[in-house]
Amino acid sequence: MSKLVSSIQEAIEKSGLKSGMCISFHHHLRGGDYVLNMVMQAIADMGIRDLTVNASSLFDCHMPLMDHIRNGVVTGLETDYVSGGIGRELSAGILPKPVVFRTHGLRPSDIATGKSHIDVAFLAAPTSDEMGNCTGKCGPSACGSLGYAMADAMYADKTVIITDNLVPYPLEKQSITEDYVDYVVKVDSIGDPKGIVSGTTRMPKDPVALRIAAYAAKAIEASGLLKDGFSFQTGAGGASLAAASYLKDIMLKKGIKGSFALGGITGYLVEMMESGCFEYLQDVQCFDLKAVDSINRDPRHIEISALHYAGPTAKSTAAQALDVVVLGATQMDVNFNVNVHTNSSGYIMGGSGGHTDVAACAKMTMIVAPLSRARMSLVVDRVNCISTPGSSVDVLVTQYGVTVNPARTDLLERFKEWKLPVYDIHELKEIADGLNGMPDPNPNRGDRVVAEVLDRDGSILDRIYQVL
Amino acid sequence: MSKLVSSIQEAIEKSGLKSGMCISFHHHLRGGDYVLNMVMQAIADMGIRDLTVNASSLFDCHMPLMDHIRNGVVTGLETDYVSGGIGRELSAGILPKPVVFRTHGLRPSDIATGKSHIDVAFLAAPTSDEMGNCTGKCGPSACGSLGYAMADAMYADKTVIITDNLVPYPLEKQSITEDYVDYVVKVDSIGDPKGIVSGTTRMPKDPVALRIAAYAAKAIEASGLLKDGFSFQTGAGGASLAAASYLKDIMLKKGIKGSFALGGITGYLVEMMESGCFEYLQDVQCFDLKAVDSINRDPRHIEISALHYAGPTAKSTAAQALDVVVLGATQMDVNFNVNVHTNSSGYIMGGSGGHTDVAACAKMTMIVAPLSRARMSLVVDRVNCISTPGSSVDVLVTQYGVTVNPARTDLLERFKEWKLPVYDIHELKEIADGLNGMPDPNPNRGDRVVAEVLDRDGSILDRIYQVL
How do residues B72-118 score in pLDDT, each as one tens digit? 999 999 999 999 999 999 999 999 999 999 999 999 999 999 999 99
CA–CA gap between residue A165 and residue A186 (Å, rounded): 7
Q: With 0-12 CB in 10 A as exposed, 13-18 as middle and 19+ as buried, what is A273?
A: buried
Q: For residue range B268-302, what is the model confidence (pLDDT) as tens digits? A: 999 999 999 999 999 999 999 899 999 999 999 99
Residue A437 in domain: yes
pLDDT band at B356 (very low <50, low <70, confident <90, very high): very high
Contact status of A228 with chain B (Cβ, < 8 Å): no
CA–CA gap between residue B29 and residue B148 (Å, rounded): 11
Q: For residue range B300-330, what is the model confidence (pLDDT) as tens digits? A: 999 999 999 999 999 999 999 999 999 999 9
Is residue B357 within 8 A of residue B386, CB to CB? The reply is no
pLDDT value of residue B199:
52
Least confident of A202-206, B99-103, B239-243, B338-342: A202-206
Does B171 share its domain with B230? no
Contact status of A180 with chain B (Cβ, < 8 Å): yes
pLDDT at A440 over 90: no
Residue A23 in domain: yes
Residue B453 in domain: no
pLDDT value of residue A202:
72
Chain A residue closest to B157 (CA)?
A315
Q: Supply the CATH number for residue A233's domain.
A: 3.40.1080.10
Residues facing A52 on adjacent strands:
A22, A76
pLDDT at A199 over 70: no
Name the H helices within A61-185: 64-70, 84-92, 106-113, 150-155
Does B152 share its domain with B230? no
CA angle B38, B352, B441 (to 5 degrees): 115
Which residues make Cβ contacts (< 8 Å) with residue A311, sequence separation at least 6? A105, A106, A108, A109, A112, A317, B179
Chain A residue closest to B158 (CA)?
A315
CA–CA gap between residue B311 and residue B323 (Å, rounded): 18
pLDDT at A370 over 90: yes
Does A229 share its domain with A319? yes
Asked whether this complex has an ipTM greater than 0.90, the answer is yes
Q: Which of A196, A225, A243 is the last residue of a domain?
A: A196
Does A405 share its domain with A319? yes
Residue A451 in domain: no
Mutate to test the interface with A, among B123, B172, B316 (most CBs of A within 10 A): B316
Domain that holds residue A167: 4-196
Is residue A401 within 8 A of residue A372, CB to CB? The reply is no
Q: Which chain B positions have a beta carbon within 8 Å of A170's beta carbon?
A: 259-260, 280, 282, 302, 318, 321
Q: Which of A155, A177, A196 is the last residue of a domain?
A: A196
User: Residue A88 phi/psi, 5° resolution?
Assistant: -60, -40
CA–CA gap between residue A281 and residue A273 (Å, rounded): 7
Does B162 share its domain with B216? no
pLDDT value of residue A115:
98
Q: Which chain A positions have a beta carbon within 8 Å of B282's beta carbon?
A: 170
pLDDT value of residue B194:
84
Contact status of B228 with chain A (Cβ, < 8 Å): no
CA–CA gap between residue A349 and residue A35 (Å, rounded): 22
* Alpha-carbon distance B172 to nearest alpha carbon in chain A (angstroms): 6
Cross-chain Cβ contact A308/B168 below 8 Å: no
Q: Are strands A231-234 and A324-327 parallel, antiparallel or unpaired?
A: parallel
Chain A residue closest to B315 (CA)?
A179
Q: For residue range B204-251, what is the model confidence (pLDDT) as tens digits? A: 889 999 999 999 999 999 999 999 999 999 987 888 989 999 999 999
Q: Which of A142, A162, A196 is the last residue of a domain?
A: A196
Does B336 share its domain with B434? yes
* Alpha-carbon distance B181 to nearest alpha carbon in chain A (angstroms): 6
pLDDT band at A203 (very low <50, low <70, confident <90, very high): confident
Residues facing B51 on adjacent strands:
B74
Alpha-carbon A321 to chain mean position: 18
Does A260 share its domain with A403? yes
Q: For residue range A229-274, what is the model confidence (pLDDT) as tens digits? A: 999 999 878 889 899 999 999 999 999 999 999 999 999 999 999 9
pLDDT value of residue B238:
84
Q: Are strands A376-377 and A372-373 parallel, antiparallel or unpaired?
A: antiparallel
Residue B447 in domain: no
Is residue B403 within 8 A of residue B425, CB to CB? The reply is yes
Alpha-carbon B308 to chain mean position: 15
Does A310 share its domain with A365? yes
Grouping H, G, I as helix, E, B as strand and the rest as coil, residue B52 is: strand
Element (H, E) at B99: strand B99-101
Residue A449 in domain: no
The conformation of residue A97, written as its DSSP 8-state character, comes to: S
- Count of domains for chain B: 2
Q: What is the dihedral of CA B168, B170, B174, B177, to 10 degrees?
A: 110
pLDDT band at B198 (very low <50, low <70, confident <90, very high): low
A·B CB contacts under 8 A: 102
Contact status of B296 with chain A (Cβ, < 8 Å): no
Does A227 share its domain with A335? yes
Does B245 share its domain with B155? no
Name the H helices within A71-177: 84-92, 106-113, 150-155
Chain B residue closest to A169 (CA)?
B259
Residue B409 in domain: yes
Contact status of A300 with chain B (Cβ, < 8 Å): yes
Does B50 share its domain with B175? yes
Does B123 share its domain with B31? yes
Residue B448 in domain: no
Cross-chain Cβ contact A308/B178 below 8 Å: yes
Q: What is the mean pLDDT of chain B?
A: 96
